[in-house]
Structure 1
Amino acid sequence: MRVDFTKMHGLGNDFVVLDARVHPVPAIDTALARALADRRTGIGCDQLILLEPSDAADFRMRIFNHDGGEVEACGNASRAAALLHGSAASVETSGGTIHVEPTNGGASVDMGKPRFDWEAIPLAYGMDTAVMPVGWEGLDRPGAVNVGNPHVVFFVENTDAVPLDVIGPQIETDPLFPQRINVNVATIENRRHIRLRVWERGAGLTRACGTGACATAVHAMRRGLVEREVTVTLPGGDLIIGWDDSERIRMTGPASESYRGSFEWDDFA
């Protein structure tokens, strides 16, 4: 069976998108997702994205990380899906229903409301998620936010100086986080600008993480460190994150189609 795909990216965070809304594909398991994502023997991507019909929204989006694990949300992939769909739409995800709208060169996404209670992150035991009394090798007193998927956020003097490739996987798999965690290290440049690097759960270091930008911005707003709309600069570029009076998060930024192709399903199944 030959299957079409679209290769896309948001600020360098790249995806293989399978559109099964008209032509269904066989079931995707961890091994197949990992094989397609492999940059040496597969197509290569940070995440595999599957678009499917939905009874609850205009379509459903499923997200598989580079390690083959399925996750709840991906902000950059949401913008890519909006670009591919071509018009405003509601999108069902495992993390909740979001709303997307293409813009010139990208998309704007209503990511919904953040959750701060420790059970929603989730944490292994209860604590204040605004200033958590924990630390790892010089990174301490983080905040935790669930924006469809779970994030822990550290504010540091220089995000580039943190060995995130070393400490990221340690924090991701700490027993405090029973479903693992995305790890964000951020520097507040001023009240309208944050610099950010992210260790993504199941994907590692990527050039951009949309949900990480949302979680970091909202946590900084919650702490009163920035205004209610900020620019978040990641290694791949900038996202605009706003948190309005209705408590909903809006993320705006670019997305691009790289190329299209096809593959034999049985070569990876």
Structure 2
Amino acid sequence: MQIEFTKYHGLGNDFILIDNRLSDEPRLTPAQAATMCDRHFGVGADGVIFVLPGQNGTDYTMRIFNSDGSEPEMCGNGIRCLARFIADLEGVTEPRSYTIQTLGGLITPKLTADGLITVDMGEPILRAADIPTTLGQPDQPVVNHSLEAAETIWNVTCINMGNPHCITFVDDVAAISLETVGSPIECHPAFPQKINVEFIQVVRSDYLKMRVWERGAGITLACGTGACAALVAAVLTDLSDRSATVELPGGCLLIEWSETDNHLYMTGPAERVFAGNYSASQS
């Protein structure tokens, strides 16, 4: 089976984009997508994103399979790449917005005149039961709660941005061994659906440094929903302004938590890398 694809990245968080507009179901199985993501025997990517027909009046629907075959609810860097891919498919060059249905809810990315993409990421979800996590009280936010993992006690704040995040503030993000602590926190029993893991260093009230272990993908160079969750956690713990630059290993995102509508707005790039044809096995 021949699959046409285009590869994009958002700050080094890379994705294989597939035009799936003629079907409501992804053209690849999760296992096929995982094989395609293999960096030695496949194309290589953090995930495969499918552009499907819209639902309930939206322009398009987004589905994504991670490099391990799991399916997350949403992906911030991925949806910027999706918006750029759709614009390329449509031949659009001027600023415009799209309404995208995701498993995490309705998301609206906007292509701006300067070539960046601003995404209305919606409101953060703070109740423990909705993260979901068993930390704290089910109907209360989880802010600076202790969590034991990898033989260490961490103070964590949990946010859902359409997908779940566990944020820890540290003095030096470079000193954190993500290879050692990422998976134990991701798979901790306190997180029944597993969780994305972010470590944040506050440089200034308007500048944060972040490293991320993504649920289902491991160490990645960037995570858009994680950057949004990091800003929310920093505001909740009085460490940040409501607008800040978040520096990730792959580059910077501008994140704003609006006091007007309580929505998070993420602005950053998405770049086309190459296109090709992939021979997918039928298994």
The answer on whether the counterparts of 1:139 and 1:154 sit within 8 Å (CA) in structure 2 is no
With over 3 angstroms needed to count, the CA separation of the structure-2 counterparts of 1:30 and 1:238, relative to structure 1, is: same
With over 3 angstroms needed to count, the CA separation of the structure-2 counterparts of 1:231 and 1:26, relative to structure 1, is: closer
Tell me how far 1:55 sits from its aligned partner: 2.2
Tell me how far 1:125 sits from its aligned partner: 5.2
Tell me how far 1:3 sits from its aligned partner: 1.9
**1:119 aligned onto 2:132:** no
Tell me how far 1:149 sits from its aligned partner: 0.3
Tell me how far 1:2 sits from its aligned partner: 2.2
Indicate the residue corresponding to 2:85 in structure 1: 84
Query: What's the secondary structure of 1:134's corresponding residue?
Result: strand
Query: Could you tell me how far apart the structure 1 residues matched to 2:135 and 2:254 are?
Result: 33
Query: Could you tell me how far apart the structure 2 residues matched to 1:243 and 1:156 are?
Result: 22
Query: Could you tell me how far apart the structure 2 residues matched to 1:231 and 1:49 are?
Result: 26
The answer on whether the counterparts of 1:168 and 1:199 sit within 8 Å (CA) in structure 2 is yes
Tell me how far 1:153 sits from its aligned partner: 0.2
- The aligned amino acid for 1:172 is E
- Aligned CA-pair RMSD: 1.6
**1:232 aligned onto 2:232:** no
Q: Which runs of 5+ in 1 are unaligned?
A: none
Indicate the residue corresponding to 2:54 in structure 1: 54
Quick one: which of 191, 198, 208 aligns to 1:194?
A: 208
Indicate the residue corresponding to 2:190 in structure 1: 176
Indicate the residue corresponding to 2:105 in structure 1: 96
**1:185 aligned onto 2:195:** no
Indicate the residue corresponding to 1:106 in structure 2: 116
Query: Could you tell me how far apart the structure 1 residues matched to 2:23 and 2:276 are?
Result: 15
Indicate the residue corresponding to 2:44 in structure 1: 44
**1:258 aligned onto 2:268:** no
Query: What's the secondary structure of 1:142's corresponding residue?
Result: strand
Tell me how far 1:24 sits from its aligned partner: 7.2
Q: Describe how 1:207-226 pairs up with structure 2 within 5 A.
A: 207-226=221-240
Tell me how far 1:7 sits from its aligned partner: 0.4
Deviation digits for residues 133-191 of structure 1, max 9, x if unmatched?
32334451110000010000000000110111111001111110000010100000011
The answer on whether the counterparts of 1:13 and 1:207 sit within 8 Å (CA) in structure 2 is yes
Query: Could you tell me how far apart the structure 2 residues matched to 1:139 and 1:68 are?
Result: 31
Query: What's the secondary structure of 2:229's corresponding residue?
Result: helix
What is the TM-score of this pair, normalised by structure 2?
A: 0.90
Tell me how far 1:81 sits from its aligned partner: 1.1
The answer on whether the counterparts of 2:135 and 2:142 sit within 8 Å (CA) in structure 1 is no
Q: Which runs of 5+ in 2 are unaligned?
A: 88-95
Q: Describe how 1:18-37 pairs up with structure 2 within 5 A.
A: 18-22=18-22, 27-37=27-37
With over 3 angstroms needed to count, the CA separation of the structure-2 counterparts of 1:26 and 1:169, relative to structure 1, is: closer
The answer on whether the counterparts of 1:35 and 1:268 sit within 8 Å (CA) in structure 2 is no
Query: Could you tell me how far apart the structure 2 residues matched to 1:188 and 1:46 are?
Result: 27
What is the TM-score of this pair, normalised by structure 1?
A: 0.95
Query: Could you tell me how far apart the structure 2 residues matched to 1:81 and 1:139 are?
Result: 38
Give the number of aligned pairs.
268
Tell me how far 1:97 sits from its aligned partner: 0.5
With over 3 angstroms needed to count, the CA separation of the structure-2 counterparts of 1:7 and 1:65, relative to structure 1, is: same
Query: Which of 148-157 and 83-92 deviates more?
Result: 83-92
Query: Could you tell me how far apart the structure 2 residues matched to 1:73 and 1:241 are?
Result: 17
With over 3 angstroms needed to count, the CA separation of the structure-2 counterparts of 1:197 and 1:94, relative to structure 1, is: same
Indicate the residue corresponding to 2:91 in structure 1: none
Tell me how far 1:131 sits from its aligned partner: 1.9
Query: Could you tell me how far apart the structure 2 residues matched to 1:100 and 1:139 are?
Result: 38
Query: Could you tell me how far apart the structure 2 residues matched to 1:239 and 1:112 are?
Result: 16
Query: Could you tell me how far apart the structure 1 residues matched to 2:164 and 2:132 are?
Result: 7
